[in-house]
Structure formats: structure tokens, C-alpha cells
Amino acid sequence: MNKTQVVQWASIPVGTLGFLALFGLGMGLTSESYNIFAPYIDTQFAQDYSPDKFEQVTIGMSEDNVRQLVGLPLFENINPYKTEAEELIASEADAKHDMGAQLYNLMRAHYDTRVYKLWEYTNDGKLYTTARLAGSNNWNDFAWYRSSVSLDSAGIVISIDKGWSYD
């Protein structure tokens, strides 16, 4: 095999890798994907929120400690699951008998009735909101970073939810 043939054969994998890299980059900048250049591009933040501050929130903290550390939430929901759980139980009164206790209990477990307050520090749709305020219908939809804490009736953090959402 001469030098020209070696260069020709070597250029095929290099060209393929280059195409795949560009294709992957292009796919990474489309709807509901993670934007590597601006990860939080489609995430609305509460006024004093930062991901670094939120990382310091731990289970067992009081709501006053969370508020001092991260500030006020973007949204506060009181008893967010109580109504849904009550409706589920009422509408499925015979479900326990019909579907078996194990499946029924799994359905009920979806709604954590210990949660008295749900504080959401981030939300989806920053690009949509910005576009609508500017009078535009042209916007992109990227992954967003969710950050929320669940508090019990005593105001103690009982769960923390954080991570990327692709919805």
C-alpha cells in the first residue's frame, strides 16, 4: 500500500468522526436538549437563587434556614398533594378490593401527603417568557434545571428535588 492509499483510507474515519461530531453538536442545540454553551438558558430562577446556594440545602433544615440561604421561592404551593390524594382515595374506594392491596398502596404512594409546602426555586420556560414579552412567537425550548424543596407541617425539609428536566 502506498502513501496515497494510506491517506485515503485514514480520511474515511476522520471524515466520519467529523460528521458525527457536527451532527451531535447540531442535535445538542435543538429542542429540549441540554445546551452545553448556556446550560441554564431556559431556566427561570427565583430572585436570590443560585445552584451553588441550593446545593447547601439539606433534609432536616428549617424553612427559615432555607429562606436565609436561598431566598424566597419562585412558587410556593400549600398542600400540593392533599387534594389529589383525597380524590384518588375517594374515586378508588373499591380499588383496594378490585386491584389488590399492593397495587392500591403503590398508587397512593405517588402522592406524599406529608408534604405541607412545596417551594419551587426554578421553573421551565425562560426563553418562551422572554420571547412572549418581546412580542415574538419564535423561541426554542431547552432542558431546564429544577430545584424544589418539600416541607412538612412543622416547616422542616423532608425532600429535595434537583436535576435536569427534558420536558
Phi/psi-derived region of residue 38, left when phi > 0, alpha when psi is between -120 and 50, beta in every other case: beta
46 DSSP assignment: -
Tell me, yes or no, whether 19 and 64 share the same domain. Answer: no
Helices (H) and strands (E) in the chain, counts: 7, 6
Residue 161 has pLDDT above 50, yes or no: yes
Tell me, yes or no, whether 73 and 151 share the same domain. Answer: yes
Q: What is the pLDDT of residue 123?
A: 93
Sheet holding 144-151, edge to edge: 75-78, 117-120, 144-151, 157-165
Tell me, yes or no, whether 21 and 51 share the same domain. Answer: no
Q: What is the pLDDT of residue 1?
A: 61
Tell me, yes or no, whether 76 and 158 share the same domain. Answer: yes
What pTM was estimated for this model as a whole? 0.66
Tell me, yes or no, whether 73 and 132 share the same domain. Answer: yes
Q: What is the dihedral of CA 96, 100, 102, 104, to 10 degrees?
A: -30
Tell me the pLDDT of the chain averaged across its residues.
77
Tell me, yes or no, whether 1 and 71 share the same domain. Answer: no
Give the range with max mean pLDDT: 19-28, 38-47, 96-105, 106-115: 38-47
Closest CA to 129 of 144, 117, 147, 108: 144
Number of Cβ within a 10 Å radius of residue 154? 9
Q: What is the pLDDT of residue 137?
A: 76
Distance from C-alpha of 15 to C-alpha of 5, rounded to nearest angstrom: 15
Tell me, yes or no, whether 18 and 69 share the same domain. Answer: no
Tell me, yes or no, whether 25 and 53 share the same domain. Answer: no
Tell me, yes or no, whether 114 and 156 share the same domain. Answer: yes
Per-residue pLDDT reduced to its tens digit, 15-56: 555 544 444 544 445 567 889 999 999 999 999 999 999 999
Tell me, yes or no, whether 98 and 118 share the same domain. Answer: yes
Q: Where are the beta strands (DSSP E) in 72-141?
A: 75-78, 117-120, 122-124
Tell me phi and psi for residue 118, to 5 degrees.
-120, 115
| 88 exposure class (CB count in 10 Å sphere: 0-12, 13-18, 19+) | middle
What range defines the domain where residue 26 resides?
Answer: 1-30
Q: Which band of pLDDT confidence, cut at 50, 70 and 90, is reported for residue 79? A: confident
Percent of the chain exceeding pLDDT 90 equals: 41
Residue 135 has pLDDT above 60, yes or no: yes
Report, as an integer, the average pLDDT of 113-140.
84
Q: What is the CA radius of gyration of the chain?
A: 24
Total structural domains in the chain?
2
Q: What is the pLDDT of residue 64?
A: 98
Tell me, yes or no, whether 103 and 127 share the same domain. Answer: yes
Q: Which band of pLDDT confidence, cut at 50, 70 and 90, is reported for residue 144? A: very high
